[in-house]
Amino acid sequence: MYDAWKILVGLAIFVGLFTFAFWMNAGKAAPVPEVKIDTPEIKKMPEPERKCVEDKHFMRTTHMQLINDWRDMALREGNREYVNKRGEKYVVSLQNTCMKCHSNKKEFCDQCHNYTGVSPYCWDCHIEPKEEPKGNES
Amino acid sequence: MGVKVSLGVSLGAVLAIVAVALVGGGVSSLQPVFGIFVPYAAFVIFLVGFIYRVVDWGRSPVPYRIPTTCGQQKTLPWIKHDKIECPSSTLGVIGRMILEVFAFRSLFRHTKAEMSSGNIVYGASKWIWLGALVFHYSFLVIAVRHLRLFLEPVPFLINGLDLVDGMFQVGAPTLYLTDLLLLGAVSYLLVRRLIVPKMRYISLANDYFPLLLILGIGISGVLMRFFIRVDIVSVKELTMGLVTLHPVMPEGIGAIFFVHVALVSTLFAYFPFSKLMHAGGVFLSPGRNLANTNRAKMHVNPWEYPVEIHPYEVYENEFREKMKNAGIPVERE
């Protein structure tokens, strides 16, 4: 090969860049985040009534669009009533509806947001709930 | 091949991949094939193929400089030397390569020829340069952003890039600027081939296919982010499984994800065999990476056959008498 060392250095950089994620994760396990849905408010409800605004799959994939729509409904249109797919009415409010049950931001919201590198700007306007680092459930 | 055939073949190939992934990705027993096997296979083909192509080029001898100069060669001291366009030193070559790789300098030099009242007129035409630059940098940012699915914890810089890319905070999840720029630039590059008659004439299926493939990747990605949403936590579980070499196939990932992955895998596997290898080729272009020292230095062809030379002096010694007899003048009596 001509200019072998230059080409080999170039190829080493190429392979290094493209396999970067493999080296960074070598020997590490990547645990899937656990979200806690055992807040006092949820525990108070009897088992069959423990339902979110919409079904679980919808909430897992599309909650951010729902919350964004809620913001527009409440703040821009002044509409504070949301009717879900089951025909139930909910008050459009992050702090009084969503966070009434999901009061554990650190163990709920942040778990998946940190895992997937998402930085939602909810807390630019809303006040973050005051939480002790652990065991604030009482 | 006419444009209908080449465009049809390319579009057909991309749609076939989409259809196969859409059907296969919807069948849970086939999901490991599309989510684990195909990406691994494509990645290995990409790495091995890329190295093979570069080593193959490296084995081709380039004994003489091919300067393809666009500037004044280094010569007499009172003639201004163009140090970047026609470098005479390694430093100049590095400058030319940096401008080529990072700023697409040779595209910037693109001109357009037009007939204007019977005369041919050349004018600057920067659109292709701008389109290519926007396309490549958007693609780079998008690729780097995807590292959030392959690294745990997500590095600060990746999160920062994500925030800057989505800085206008349009909707939730936020609209990325690079998504718009990439789709816009790829569409421009495709439309340009289709509507400019000269471009259409020289375009082949292997020009249309990568553009349509990347357009498909962009569209499927945007659809997955904003319209047909999938559970990103399950997606990261899958991608982290791939990069930790402990592949797992979480349940309930929508078929659109497998379409996106199948198109990206196709791009990876297709890369080494296609014109996309210009990514490696730009570094091995003799016209860009060699200093123009054709006249300043002696360049010897390393495999030159030792030719037996027969200079005039020896010739004359051999034939002097015959030459004299024939009346041909000789240099020495």
Instruction: Note the pLDDT tens digit of each residue in B305-315.
Output: 888 889 999 99
Average pLDDT over residues B189-205: 93
Is the predicted pLDDT of residue A32 greater than 70, yes or no?
Answer: yes
Say whether B172 and A64 touch across the interface (CB within 8 A): yes
* Interchain contact, B151 vs A28, CB within 8 Å: no
pLDDT attached to residue B224: 94
Band of pLDDT at residue A125, cut at 50, 70 and 90: confident
In a domain, B333, yes or no: no
Average pLDDT, chain B: 92
Domain total of chain B: 1
pLDDT score, position A136? 45
Nearest CA in chain A to B243: A22
Is the CB of B233 less than 8 angstroms away from the CB of A60? yes
The tokens of B272 are what?
């080494």
Average pLDDT of B4-22? 94
User: Does residue B252 sit within a domain?
Assistant: yes
Structure token pair of residue B193 = 């081939």
Is A12 an 8 Å CB contact of chain B? Answer: no
pLDDT for the residue numbered B270: 97
Q: Cα–Cα distance between B30 and B258 in angstroms, integer?
A: 11
Backbone angles phi, psi at B173, to 5 degrees: -65, 155
Letter string b/e over residues A50-80, b meaning 16 or more CB atoms within 10 A of that residue's CB:
eebbbeeebebbbbbbbbbebbeebeeeeee
Contacts of A14 in chain B (CB under 8 A): 50-51, 54, 280
The C-alpha atoms of residue B36 and residue B38 are separated, in whole angstroms, by 6
Task: Express as a percent the part of chain B with pLDDT over 90.
Answer: 68
C-alpha to C-alpha distance for B185 and A133, rounded to whole angstroms = 47
pLDDT at A133: 57
> Does B199 fall in a domain?
yes
Each residue's pLDDT tens digit, B205-244 = 999 999 999 999 999 999 999 999 999 999 999 999 999 9
Residue in chain B nearest A68 by alpha carbon? B172
- In angstroms, the CA B250 to CA B238 distance is 6
Residue range B262-271: average pLDDT?
Answer: 97
Range of the domain at B184: 3-325
Nearest residue in A to B242, CA atom: A22
| H-helix or E-strand spanning residue B87 | none
Say if B47 is an interface residue toward chain A (CB within 8 Å). yes
Does B114 have pLDDT greater than 80? yes
The answer to whether residue B302 scores a pLDDT higher than 80 is: no
The answer to whether residue B202 sits within a structural domain is yes
Asked if residue B133 belongs to a domain, the reply is yes
Per-residue pLDDT, averaged over A23-36, amounts to 84
CATH value at residue B227: 1.20.950.20
CA distances, B124 to each of B114, B117, B199 (Å):
11, 18, 17
